[in-house]
Amino acid sequence: MRTQVAIIGAGPAGTLLSLLLRQQGIESVVLERQTKEYVLSRIRAGVLEWTSVEIMRAAGLSERLDVEGHRHESIKISWRAEELLSIDFERLAGKPMMAYGQTKIQEDLYAAADAHGQDIIFGASDVEIHDPNSDAPWVSFTANGEPVRLDCDFVAGCDGAHGVSRGSIPDSIKREYERSYPFGWLGILSETPPLPHLLYANHERGFALCSERNPMLSRYYVQCPLDDRVEDWSDDRFWSELLARVPKSEADNIVTGPSIEKSIAPLRSYVCEPMQYGRMFLAGDAAHIVPPTGAKGLNLSISDVHYLATAMAAHYSGDPGQLASYSETALRRVWGSVRFSWWMTVLLHRFPDQSPFEQRANEEDLHYLSRSEAAQTSVAEQYVGLDL
Ligand SMILES: Cc1cc2nc3c(=O)[nH]c(=O)nc-3n(C[C@H](O)[C@H](O)[C@H](O)COP(=O)(O)OP(=O)(O)OC[C@H]3O[C@@H](n4cnc5c(N)ncnc54)[C@H](O)[C@@H]3O)c2cc1C
């Protein structure tokens, strides 16, 4: 087989990249290890930056998002279950956020790929990248039990945190930056109406977050020890823990109900530099991971592939410069989001070894945030996402 761009991974990054390239008249083949049903069943992110909404709109992928997405104009942050501050994005940063689940985005991307006849090979195993640093890279894989060779001009590694693409950058070139956090998030989905705003809580029992997927689907999280198991958490235990961590005025408005999904996710910050090696380019979780506190993971995947598709289009039009500097361009935005997500995580969680001094310093940060419009503006513009 031959194509212009071999894309590894059909998550949001890989599928969106194939559609953006198609818009520019560039052919691609997408190789996905899992089945389509498996990818669609993964419950993950749910909050889009406005820049992501605009990228989806420009790509003609926003028909359902514009109808079913729910604008969020503010977040609230509480501490000690009594103090409460509100940050108004629309007023301070001139943009809202959009609540729209990753599963719906993935469904929309697959529907568009089907409509355009985009080649996505599901169940592709043993994917390997060959000669990424040559003028003729190629990818080998197994499909339906048969070995296949895919020749291409470029390889896009969109295969997430556990993919193979990052491994094709030699250790002598690769720099990795990492921070693991000593706790996890226990998350549930429940078919109950959410609060009208996102609510983040810093509490002595641990962090909590009230979020949403749509007007009848709520997403709630509580910080938990990393070695907790989902079976340890009955719905009753979850709800009583959540309600204890938020102010009474908010708890009174939370509608509880049976969970329809429950999982525990570890939290990690990670960046791989550079995001390119020869003719292989990384995008999304393949290159970086952020803790979900700042709602940035999915948004970074979208901005990476926007930069990559634009640079590839410039290359095929005779301007190779943007592709040569793709890593540098993408990493500037990546580090902004990595820093913000780390800052939000440190500010709002209780670390097992946290000293009373560090906790008081965090509370003072929150007091300052509640008093200073300048500080709120800084958070608002980072939360809604800086311009591309
Ligand atoms: C449990 C969980 C909760 C999250 N919650 C949030 C949140 O609340 N907010 C937020 O902003 N972000 C969240 N994220 C992060 C967000 O979901 C990711 O940033 C986003 O999915 C990244 O998209 P991606 O396409 O880069 O990677 P992925 O979605 O991981 O897609 C990569 C794809 O590559 C495929 N693949 C992997 N290896 C191979 C291979 N060898 N060959 C072929 N295919 C391969 C995988 O099967 C997968 O389909 C969460 C992530 C997880 C895991």
Which residue, judged by its Cα, is nearest atom 27 of ligand 1? Answer: 160
If asked whether residues 241 and 112 sit together in one domain, one would say: no
If asked whether residues 128 and 32 sit together in one domain, one would say: yes
Which CATH number fits the domain that encloses residue 279? Answer: 3.50.50.60
- For residue 120 and ligand 1, the question of a CB distance below 6 A is answered with no
Reported as a single tens digit per residue, the pLDDT across 288-305 is 999 999 999 999 999 999
Say yes or no to pLDDT of 1 above 90. Answer: yes
Say yes or no to pLDDT of 133 above 90. Answer: yes
Residue recorded with tokens 């212009």: 4
C-alpha 88 to ligand 1 mean position (Å)? 29
If asked whether residues 190 and 257 sit together in one domain, one would say: yes
> Looking at the domain assignment, is residue 209 inside a domain?
yes
pLDDT at 387: 87
Residue among 2, 8, 36, 13 at smallest CA distance from 123: 36
Give the torsion sign (CA, 195, 243, 47, 50).
positive
C-alpha 285 to ligand 1 mean position (Å)? 6
Domain range for 373 is 70-100+181-267+350-384
pLDDT at 183: 97
Say yes or no to pLDDT of 45 above 90. Answer: no
If asked whether residues 143 and 211 sit together in one domain, one would say: no
pLDDT class for 207, splitting at 50, 70, 90?
very high
If asked whether residues 78 and 201 sit together in one domain, one would say: yes
If asked whether residues 108 and 210 sit together in one domain, one would say: no
pLDDT at 213: 84
Say yes or no to pLDDT of 212 above 90. Answer: no
* pLDDT-above-70 percentage for the chain: 100
> Looking at the domain assignment, is residue 234 inside a domain?
yes
- Cα 181 to Cα 225: distance, rounded to the nearest angstrom: 10
Q: Which of 8, 38, 44, 306 to mutate to test the pocket of ligand 1 (most atoms within 8 A of CB)?
A: 44
pLDDT at 230: 96
Residue recorded with tokens 């097992």: 352
Reported as a single tens digit per residue, the pLDDT across 264-282 is 999 999 999 999 999 999 9
Higher-confidence residue: 152 or 43?
Answer: 152
C-alpha 161 to ligand 1 mean position (Å)? 7
- For the chain, give the mean pLDDT: 96
- For residue 284 and ligand 1, the question of a CB distance below 6 A is answered with yes
The arrangement of strands across the sheet holding 70-72 comes to 47-48, 97-99, 70-72
pTM of the predicted structure, to 2 decimals: 0.95
Number of helices followed by number of strands (H, E) in the chain: 13, 20
- For residue 301 and ligand 1, the question of a CB distance below 6 A is answered with yes
Q: Which of 18, 262, 285, 341 to mutate to test the pocket of ligand 1 (most atoms within 8 A of CB)?
A: 285
If asked whether residues 145 and 281 sit together in one domain, one would say: yes
> Looking at the domain assignment, is residue 166 inside a domain?
yes
If asked whether residues 227 and 126 sit together in one domain, one would say: no
On whether the CB atoms of residues 61 and 20 are closer than 8 A, the answer is no
pLDDT at 215: 86
β-strand partners of 201: 78, 208
Total tally of structural domains belonging to the chain: 2
- Cα 118 to Cα 3: distance, rounded to the nearest angstrom: 12
pLDDT at 90: 93
> Looking at the domain assignment, is residue 65 inside a domain?
no
Instruction: Give the side-chain half-sphere CA count within 13 A for 21.
Output: 29
If asked whether residues 106 and 96 sit together in one domain, one would say: no
pLDDT at 224: 97
> Looking at the domain assignment, is residue 26 inside a domain?
yes
On whether the CB atoms of residues 339 and 291 are closer than 8 A, the answer is no
Mean pLDDT of 82-102: 93
pLDDT class for 82, splitting at 50, 70, 90?
confident
Say yes or no to pLDDT of 335 above 90. Answer: yes
If asked whether residues 370 and 279 sit together in one domain, one would say: no
pLDDT at 288: 98
Which CATH number fits the domain that encloses residue 74? Answer: 3.30.9.10
Reported as a single tens digit per residue, the pLDDT across 250-264 is 999 999 999 999 999
Q: Which residues are catalytic?
A: 72, 200, 292, 296, 383
> Looking at the domain assignment, is residue 54 inside a domain?
no
pLDDT at 42: 87
Reported as a single tens digit per residue, the pLDDT across 166-191 is 999 999 999 999 999 999 999 999 99
> Looking at the domain assignment, is residue 85 inside a domain?
yes
pLDDT at 43: 80
- For residue 17 and ligand 1, the question of a CB distance below 6 A is answered with no
> Looking at the domain assignment, is residue 53 inside a domain?
no
Say yes or no to pLDDT of 139 above 90. Answer: yes
If asked whether residues 273 and 173 sit together in one domain, one would say: yes
If asked whether residues 186 and 262 sit together in one domain, one would say: yes
C-alpha 378 to ligand 1 mean position (Å)? 28
